[in-house]
Amino acid sequence: MQKMIIAIDGYAATGKSSLAKRLAKTLQFKYIDTGAMYRAITYFALQQEPKGSVHEKQLIAALDQIKLHFELTTSGQEVSLNGVNINKEIRQSDVTSEVSNVAKIPEVRAVLVAQQQAMGIEKGIIMDGRDIGTVVFPNAECKFFLTATPEVRAKRRHLEQMDQGIHESYEDVLDNIQTRDLIDSTRETAPLRKASDAIEIDVSDMTLEEVYQKIWSYILKKQSKTS
Ligand code: DC
């Protein structure tokens, strides 16, 4: 398969990362979950004194002390912050509640977008996020934009969290998803938006396998056009 950039954007809990991971394995491409990068910065901010809330100015001043590292293992992507693995911590509810507020800070976005662009320089990469097709890689060869109703997404995320031992009620998960949708899509810098040339897929009534097959057939079509 010719090396290319595949951007998978869309709303929270639409299955972006499961799909991206499977595609990356099949294509032997690198996979980057950019949401995990925003979560790692949020975790860092919450650890700064006074702990438990985000102090924007302090965070901006400390951005150059943050070293993120990603490694793809058989069990998924491992994220470390200044040498410490924080895979589990970035999925906890305190991080999930604050991440959209951190992701709207332009200075944070500038640092992470530059890192993401550097990771894609050799192509052969699949990135999932909110602004990959619009801002990070506007020239990506394949762009997908996934949507689904908030209720379908909350049900999905609630089940996933229970599997991971994170106990939060369905109502709280739904509330968080709706709040994040609003903040992510109305922020000034790089709001969540479908790129004009992205393929939009409403996954509300589709299985993950059906979505995968749909995406896969577009990739094959694109590949045959460019080779
Ligand atoms: O994909 P996720 O739910 O782990 O993402 C966490 C948050 O990070 C999400 O609410 C919005 C933000 N995000 C972003 O603004 N831009 C990205 N490219 C990826 C995530």
Q: Where residue 44 sits, what CATH number does that domain have?
A: 3.40.50.300
Per-residue model confidence (pLDDT) at position 75: 67
- Provide the whole-model pTM: 0.94
Strand 5-10's sheet: what is its strand order?
Answer: 30-33, 125-129, 5-10, 142-147, 199-202
On the question of pLDDT at 152 being above 70, the answer is yes
pLDDT, tens digit (0-9, with 9 covering 90-100), for 112-136: 999 999 999 999 999 999 999 999 9
Domain, as residue range, for 41: 5-226
pLDDT, tens digit (0-9, with 9 covering 90-100), for 43-82: 999 999 888 899 999 999 999 999 999 887 776 789 999 9
Return the best residue to mutate from 99, 111, 144 for the ligand 1 pocket (most ligand atoms within 8 A of CB). Answer: 99
Instruction: With residue 164 as reference, give the H or E element that holds it.
Output: none
Pocket of ligand 1 (CB under 6 A): 12, 34-35, 38-39, 99-100, 103, 129-132, 180, 184
Considering its fold, how many domains does the chain have in total? 1
Rounded distance from Cα 38 to ligand 1 centre (Å):
6
> How distant, in Å, are the alpha carbons of 98, 144, 183 from that of 115?
22, 21, 23
Rounded distance from Cα 195 to ligand 1 centre (Å):
16
Rounded distance from Cα 10 to ligand 1 centre (Å):
9
On the question of pLDDT at 187 being above 90, the answer is yes
On the question of pLDDT at 19 being above 80, the answer is yes
Is the Cβ–Cβ distance between 212 and 144 less than 8 Å?
no
Per-residue model confidence (pLDDT) at position 227: 67
Residue nearest to atom 11 of ligand 1 (CA): 100
